[in-house]
Homo-oligomer: A and B are copies of this chain.
Amino acid sequence: MSQIIKAGLVGVTGYTGMELARLMIHHSSMELVRVTSRAEAGKKLADIYPFLNRLPLGDLVITQPDPADLAEECDVVFLAVPHKTAMEIASSLLDQGVKVVDLSADFRINDKATYEEWYAVEHTRPELLAEAVYGLPELYLDKIMGARLIANPGCYPTSSILGLAPALAAGLIETDDIVIDAKSGASGAGRGKNVGSLFCEVHDNFRAYSLPAHRHTPEIEQEISKIAKTDITVSFNTHLLPIDRGILSTIYTRLTNELSLDEAHQVYTDFYADKPLVRVLPIGQLPETRFVKGTVFCDIGLVVDPRTNRLIILSAIDNLCRGASGQALLNANLICGLDMDEGIPMAPMMP
C-alpha cells in the first residue's frame, strides 16, 4: 500500500476552499494536513464548517498561511486565494520543493503582457509562466503528470474549451464567428460580502454581467487558438443564474461545410473516446447543470441547425467542482502519481 499524500490548502474560507474540503472527506490516498486562513486561524475546521462535525477533518486546526510550515508538512499545496496573492506564495513553495496547484488566474496566461492587460496588475514571477502547465487533463495529460506547478483552469474556460476543442481540431467550424453565451451559478462570484451577491438580489432574477470583456476571455482565446492553430477572437459573454453551482455554455458557431448532426456527433465521441470525464450525450439529449452537480464531468450536447448552417454546442460543468476544486484534485492526483480519478465524485446530487 502506498503512502498517504499530505496536502495543504491556502485559503479555506471561500467556496473553492470549502469545496476542496468537501472532496477530501472521501479521498483515501490524500489527506489535508494544513488549512490556512488569516481571519479564522486558531479555530477548528468544524467551527466554521459545521458539516465537518464528527468527521476527522473537522478537528484540523486552521493556521496562518506560512510557506515554510506548509513546505515542511505538505507534499502538495492548493492555492485558493485571489490572483496576485497566489503568484508569490506559489513561488516560495516551489522553491522549497513543494508541488503547487494554483486555482487563481496567475499562471494561466502564457503571455505576461496579456495577463497584465486583463488583470491590471504586474506579474512578478514571469519566469514561472513558461513552466506552469495548464491543468486541463483532456488536453495536457502528459505534461500535467510531469509538472510541479499547475495553473488550474478557470471555470468558464473549462466549459468553453472542452466544448469547442473537437470542432476546432477537426476544422468543422469558422474561427471568426464564435459566440459563447455562458451562464453561471452564484458560487462563481465567490463568498465576498457584496450587495450584488445577497440572496434577495440574485434569487428569482437573471442578468448578464461583465459584458463585453470578462477576464476569462484571453484564457479561452489562448487555448482554442492553439487547438485551431490560428488566432481566434471570441465573443464571450456571461450571465448570473439563481442557482448555487453550475455553468452552461451555449456556443454558437458557423459550419465551414454542410454537416449532419450524426457526423458532428461522431467527431465529438471520437475525440473524447478515451477521456471518460467528458460525456458527449446521445443525439437528442441536451446537458443540464444538475446532471453534473458536485462532479467533475463535463457534459456536451450538440445541435445542428440547417436553417442557419450553425453548429450549436452546449457544455455543462459544475463551476466549483470541475471548474475549480475538483479539477484541482484531478491535477493533484496526477502530479502526485495517483490515478486521476481517485477520490473524485461521479454521482451528482439529483434532485
Q: State the A residues within 8 Å of B (CB).
A: 15, 18-19, 22-23, 25-26, 49-51, 53-55, 177, 179, 181, 183, 186-187, 191, 193-195, 197-209, 211-213, 233-235, 237, 239, 241-246, 248, 250, 252, 276, 279, 281-282, 285-294, 297, 299, 301, 303-305, 307-308, 310, 312, 314, 345-351
Question: Are B205 and A348 in contact (CB-based, < 8 A)?
Answer: no
Cβ distance A33 to chain B, nearest Cβ, rounded Å: 18
Contacts of A308 in B (CB 8 A): 212, 233-235
Contacts of A198 in B (CB 8 A): 186, 191, 193, 197-199
Question: Are A15 and B54 in contact (CB-based, < 8 A)?
Answer: no
Q: Please report the C-alpha to C-alpha distance between residue A346 and residue B53 in the assembled complex, in whole angstroms.
A: 10
Contacts of A201 in B (CB 8 A): 199, 351
Q: Please report the C-alpha to C-alpha distance between residue A310 and residue B177 in the assembled complex, in whole angstroms.
A: 10
Copies per complex of this chain: 4
Question: Are B199 and A186 in contact (CB-based, < 8 A)?
Answer: yes
Q: Please report the C-alpha to C-alpha distance between residue A312 and residue B237 in the assembled complex, in whole angstroms.
A: 10
**Listed residue (A53, A199, A244, A282) with the most chain B CB atoms within 10 angstroms of its CB:** A199
Q: Please report the C-alpha to C-alpha distance between residue A187 and residue B204 in the assembled complex, in whole angstroms.
A: 12
Question: Are A18 and B350 in contact (CB-based, < 8 A)?
Answer: yes
Contact of A177 among B177, B206, B312 (CB under 8 A): B177
The 10 A-B residue pairs with the shortest CB-CB distance, nearest first, are: A212-B305, A200-B351, A193-B193, A207-B288, A199-B202, A25-B347, A181-B181, A51-B291, A205-B290, A186-B199
Q: Please report the C-alpha to C-alpha distance between residue A310 and residue B15 in the assembled complex, in whole angstroms.
A: 34
Cβ distance A210 to chain B, nearest Cβ, rounded Å: 10
Contact of A200 among B187, B206, B237, B346 (CB under 8 A): B187
Cβ distance A348 to chain B, nearest Cβ, rounded Å: 5
Contacts of A287 in B (CB 8 A): 50, 207
Contacts of A234 in B (CB 8 A): 308
Q: Known interface pairs A212-B307, A347-B22. Does A281 touch B193 (Cβ–Cβ under 8 Å)?
A: no
The 30 sampled A-B contact pairs (Cβ below 8 Å) are: A15-B351, A19-B350, A50-B299, A51-B347, A51-B350, A53-B299, A54-B297, A179-B310, A181-B252, A193-B195, A197-B198, A199-B242, A200-B244, A204-B351, A205-B246, A206-B241, A206-B289, A207-B288, A208-B314, A209-B286, A211-B305, A212-B308, A212-B310, A233-B308, A235-B252, A235-B307, A235-B312, A237-B252, A237-B312, A242-B243
Q: Please report the C-alpha to C-alpha distance between residue A233 and residue B303 in the assembled complex, in whole angstroms.
A: 17
